[in-house]
């Protein structure tokens, strides 16, 4: 099999069955070099199970995980060597100091000089407290030590499970900037799971949305939001206007809301074109409003979240 | 591999487990020393003499009285009879079996501690060696390194063996230094008798021989080490299987204690001889006092303990390498 050097993590048809229950199934995606990839899903969708399969804590019942071309199941050592991870909370040895923790992990990696420890400690700005016991650290500091630990072996892929859990807004922003910088400056790919949409929207380049154990969509965050732009048209006569909009190939959905309001799902950059098309059909356009959808809207639509539930109630 | 073992040693020391063991020994050894001192004193007072021959004779009288009592079961009677013959032998050959001195204390301590006290200390060391990684969530960090799982487990096991050995050495050193304050530090070359052999109702004295006490102590601690290693290995397996430190410790304590009670409680229940925890008092073979159980020999006991260790290790390694880390 040819290995694509730009693809750092390649997941193919990954599945896990426990007993008769499919926890996750048919998970496939690729993470490219230097990319921040979001893994989004509600609680219980199978995010953590998938992440644990990516780092070898859980053995998949089907499918393969390749990291830098090495199969995780067949060649665990060479695959996992390129990975730094925090699975759930950064759980460290509380009775050791920050430095002793890092030394523990350094001894489990091939050839980590002690300068590398100073380097990562400096990177996460823990230098003044590194010789204190981890017991005395705040959650934010533990999180940073966790990241230092993950970066120790110069990984090509950083896997972070819910990294912003328990952090305050300032801490979240700090982490976000830090991760962006890592990806941009060091070319490290980052795989981040989250159930906080806003986070993913701000941090990630691409996103996979998982629901009930399977991926419902994978796309660049920009495309996802572009494709889902809702444009509200004030038209007269509205029904003719709706039909005429519906003829356009790039309008994916159109519906009549109020007597003179038509909602169309379409790319933003096609609004002028659509306007001209309507004018050509003798339809009066008295207002155009583009809605900026948040990832949240898209997410709820894709996962059939609360918005839909409400209509059923 | 040495780096992994070094890691585990750091954790073992920084978790302060070894300090707890040292502290327990530092508190208990003086108490045992004082207790033994009082016992000796009392016996002397009762007999009105410090003559050990008188004490030994008194012991024989006591044992004969117990033998005469109708409430003592048959199994115990033959055991007491053997004990009397043994004491008689000491008297006849003018050997003081309890000649005081720190080495004698160290020897006695091993014999008394091997069935319950040492196993309890071992459980303190072993019970959380794997389960604490689960409880603290650090198992996820360990298993996502480029290191094979079996190597991680092996490094933990080797660390445990080191710690158990260290614990026994600590016992000898503390026992010698502390009890010597009262009993004096002499007695390494004292002659001790070994090789009593039980043949039916009779005490076979054909193979009885005298050896210097230091040799006896080495042998006693060697056997104690063997039974401690078995307890450590079983405890190690429990620690792999049970992810909660408290339950892991609880299970092991229950097993050790019930093993020690069962062998006294139902000595003629023959299935008991296949349980590991009824064979912990290996040092009894040295002195020649047979175990409570019927028809067991030193090789049989060693075989039972080895079998339990091997099976435990296999279960521990297979489970640890295959298991999904779900929480």
Contact B8, B156 (CB under 8 A): yes
User: What is the dihedral angle through the alpha carbons of B213, B216, B218, B223, rounded to the nearest 10 degrees?
Assistant: -160
Decide if B136 and A57 are in contact by the 8 Å CB cutoff.
Answer: no
Question: Does residue A215 share a domain with residue A90?
Answer: yes
Q: Does residue B151 sit at the A interface (CB-CB below 8 Å)?
A: no
Q: Please report the ipTM that was assigned to this predicted complex.
A: 0.77
Question: Does residue A198 share a domain with residue A88?
Answer: yes
DSSP secondary structure letter of residue A97: B
Question: Does residue A201 share a domain with residue A151?
Answer: yes
Q: Burial, A300: exposed, middle or buried (Cβ in 10 Å; 0-12, 13-18, 19+)?
A: middle
Q: Report, as an integer, the average pLDDT of B193-215.
A: 65
**Does A312 map to a domain?**
no
Decide if A87 and B142 are in contact by the 8 Å CB cutoff.
Answer: no
Question: For residue A133, what is the nearest residue in chain B, using CA coordinates?
Answer: B14
Residues of A in contact with B138 (CB under 8 A): 91-93
Lowest-pLDDT choice from A1-5, A80-84, A132-136, B135-139: A1-5
B157: confidence class by pLDDT, cuts 50, 70, 90 = very high
Question: Does residue A243 share a domain with residue A214?
Answer: no
**Does A307 map to a domain?**
no
Question: Does residue A212 share a domain with residue A89?
Answer: yes
In whole angstroms, give the CA distance from residue A148 to residue A142: 10
**Does B39 map to a domain?**
yes
Q: What pLDDT digit, counting tens, does each position of B106-150 carry?
A: 888 888 888 888 999 999 889 888 988 888 889 998 999 999 999
In whole angstroms, give the CA distance from residue B298 to residue B284: 9
- The CATH number covering residue A162 comes to 3.40.50.300
Which member of A56, A58, A92 has the closest CB to residue B138? A92
**Does A281 map to a domain?**
yes
**Does B56 map to a domain?**
no
**Does B193 map to a domain?**
yes
Would strands A36-40 and A189-194 be described as parallel, antiparallel, or unpaired?
A: parallel
Question: Does residue A284 share a domain with residue A149?
Answer: no
Task: Please list, in sequence order, all residues whose beta carbon lies within 8 angstroms of the beta carbon of residue A243, skipping any fewer than 6 positions away.
Answer: none
Q: What pLDDT digit, counting tens, does each position of A1-40 carry?
A: 444 458 889 988 888 888 888 888 888 999 988 899 998 8
Q: What pLDDT digit, counting tens, does each position of A223-277 carry?
A: 776 666 778 888 888 888 888 888 888 887 788 877 788 888 887 778 888 888 8
The residue among B8, B140, B151, B320 with the most chain A CBs within 10 A of its CB, best to mutate, is B140
**Does A311 map to a domain?**
no
| Domain count across chain B | 1
**Does B7 map to a domain?**
yes
In whole angstroms, give the CA distance from residue B257 to residue B115: 9
DSSP secondary structure letter of residue A135: G
Decide if B11 and A77 are in contact by the 8 Å CB cutoff.
Answer: no
**Does A101 map to a domain?**
yes
- The CATH number covering residue A247 comes to 3.30.70.100
State the residue range of the domain holding A42: 7-219
| Domain count across chain A | 2
Question: Does residue A207 share a domain with residue A165?
Answer: yes
Decide if B145 and A76 are in contact by the 8 Å CB cutoff.
Answer: no
More confident residue, B243 or B187: B243
Task: Please list, in sequence order, all residues whose beta carbon lies within 8 angstroms of the beta carbon of residue B222, skipping any fewer than 6 positions away.
Answer: none
Question: Does residue A45 share a domain with residue A85?
Answer: yes
Contact B312, B130 (CB under 8 A): no
**Does B63 map to a domain?**
no
B197: confidence class by pLDDT, cuts 50, 70, 90 = low
Strand segments, DSSP code E, in chain B are: 191-194, 197-199, 202-204, 209-212
Q: How far is A178 from chain B (nearest CA, A)?
A: 22
Question: Does residue A108 share a domain with residue A214?
Answer: yes
DSSP 3-state of B30: helix
Final residue of a structural domain among A219, A241, A267: A219
Q: What is the pLDDT of residue B166?
A: 93
Q: Which letter, b or e, does each residue of A82-105 get, where b requires 16 or more Cβ atoms within 10 Å of its Cβ? A: bbbbbbbbbbbbeebbbbbbbbbb
**Does A308 map to a domain?**
no
**Does B327 map to a domain?**
no
Decide if A58 and B16 are in contact by the 8 Å CB cutoff.
Answer: no
The full DSSP string for B207-250 is: T-EEEEHHHHHHHHHHHHHHHHHHHHHHHHHHHHH---HHHHHH
More confident residue, B205 or A130: A130
Question: Does residue A204 share a domain with residue A248?
Answer: no
State the residue range of the domain holding B11: 2-50+99-322
Contact A67, A48 (CB under 8 A): no
Q: Which letter, b or e, does each residue of B67-81 get, where b requires 16 or more Cβ atoms within 10 Å of its Cβ? A: eeeeeeeeebeebbb
B31: pLDDT strictly greater than 50: yes
């Amino acid at each position: 099999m040819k290995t694509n050097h730009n693809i750092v993590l390649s997941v193919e048809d990954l599945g896990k069955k426990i007993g008769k229950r499919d926890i996750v199934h048919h998970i496939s995606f690729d993470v490219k070099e230097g990319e921040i990839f979001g893994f989004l899903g509600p609680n219980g969708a199978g995010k953590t199970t998938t992440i644990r399969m990516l780092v070898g804590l859980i053995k998949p019942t089907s499918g393969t995980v390749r990291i830098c071309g090495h199969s995780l199941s067949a060649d665990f050592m060479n695959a996992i060597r390129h990975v730094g991870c925090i699975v759930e909370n950064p759980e460290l040895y509380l009775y050791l100091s920050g430095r002793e923790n890092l030394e523990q992990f350094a001894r489990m990696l091939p050839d980590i000089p002690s300068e590398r420890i100073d380097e990562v400690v400096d990177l996460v700005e823990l230098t003044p407290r590194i010789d204190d016991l981890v017991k005395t650290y705040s959650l934010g500091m533990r999180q940073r030590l966790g990241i230092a630990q993950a970066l120790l072996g110069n990984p090509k892929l950083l896997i972070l499970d819910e990294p912003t859990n328990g952090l305050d807004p300032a801490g979240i922003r700090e982490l976000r900037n830090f991760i962006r910088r890592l990806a941009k400056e060091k070319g490290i790919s980052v795989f981040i799971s989250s159930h906080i949409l806003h986070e993913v929207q701000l941090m990630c380049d691409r996103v996979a949305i998982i629901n009930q154990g399977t991926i419902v969509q994978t796309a660049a965050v920009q495309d996802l939001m572009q494709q889902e732009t809702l444009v509200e048209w004030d038209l007269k006569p509205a029904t003719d206007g709706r039909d005429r909009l519906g003829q356009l190939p790039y309008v994916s959905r159109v519906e009549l809301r109020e007597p003179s309001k038509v909602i169309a799902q379409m790319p933003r950059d096609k609004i002028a074109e659509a306007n001209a098309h309507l004018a050509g059909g003798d339809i009066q356009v008295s207002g155009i409003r583009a809605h900026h959808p948040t990832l949240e809207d898209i997410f709820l639509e894709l996962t059939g979240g609360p918005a839909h539930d409400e209509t059923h109630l | 591999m040495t780096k992994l073992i070094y890691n585990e040693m750091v954790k073992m020391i920084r978790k302060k487990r070894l300090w707890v063991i040292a502290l327990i020994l530092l508190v208990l050894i003086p108490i045992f020393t004082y207790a033994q001192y009082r016992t000796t004193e009392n016996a002397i007072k009762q007999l009105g003499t410090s003559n050990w021959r008188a004490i030994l004779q008194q012991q024989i009288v006591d044992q004969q009285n117990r033998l005469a009592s109708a409430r003592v079961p048959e199994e115990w009677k033959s055991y007491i009879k053997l004990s009397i013959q043994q004491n008689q032998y000491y008297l006849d050959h003018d050997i003081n079996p309890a000649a005081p001195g720190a080495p004698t204390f160290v020897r006695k301590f091993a014999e008394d501690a091997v069935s319950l006290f040492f196993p309890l200390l071992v459980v303190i060391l072993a019970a959380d060696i794997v389960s604490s990684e689960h409880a603290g969530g650090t198992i996820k960090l360990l298993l996502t390194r480029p290191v094979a799982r079996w190597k991680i487990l092996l490094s933990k096991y080797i660390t445990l063996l080191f710690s158990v050995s260290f614990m026994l050495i600590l016992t000898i050193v503390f026992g010698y230094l502390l009890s010597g304050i009262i009993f004096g530090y002499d007695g390494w070359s004292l002659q001790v008798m070994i090789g009593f052999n039980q043949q039916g109702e009779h005490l076979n004295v054909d193979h009885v021989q005298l050896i210097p006490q230091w040799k006896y102590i080495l042998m006693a601690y060697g056997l104690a080490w063997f039974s401690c290693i078995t307890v450590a290995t079983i405890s190690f397996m429990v620690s792999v299987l049970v992810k909660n430190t408290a339950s892991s410790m609880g299970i092991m304590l229950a097993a050790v204690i019930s093993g020690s009670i069962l062998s006294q409680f139902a000595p003629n229940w023959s299935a008991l001889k296949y349980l590991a925890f009824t064979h912990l008092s290996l040092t009894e073979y040295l002195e020649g006092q047979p175990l409570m159980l019927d028809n067991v020999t030193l090789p049989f006991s060693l075989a039972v303990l080895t079998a339990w260790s091997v099976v435990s290790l296999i279960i521990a390694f297979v489970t640890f390498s295959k298991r999904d880390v779900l929480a």
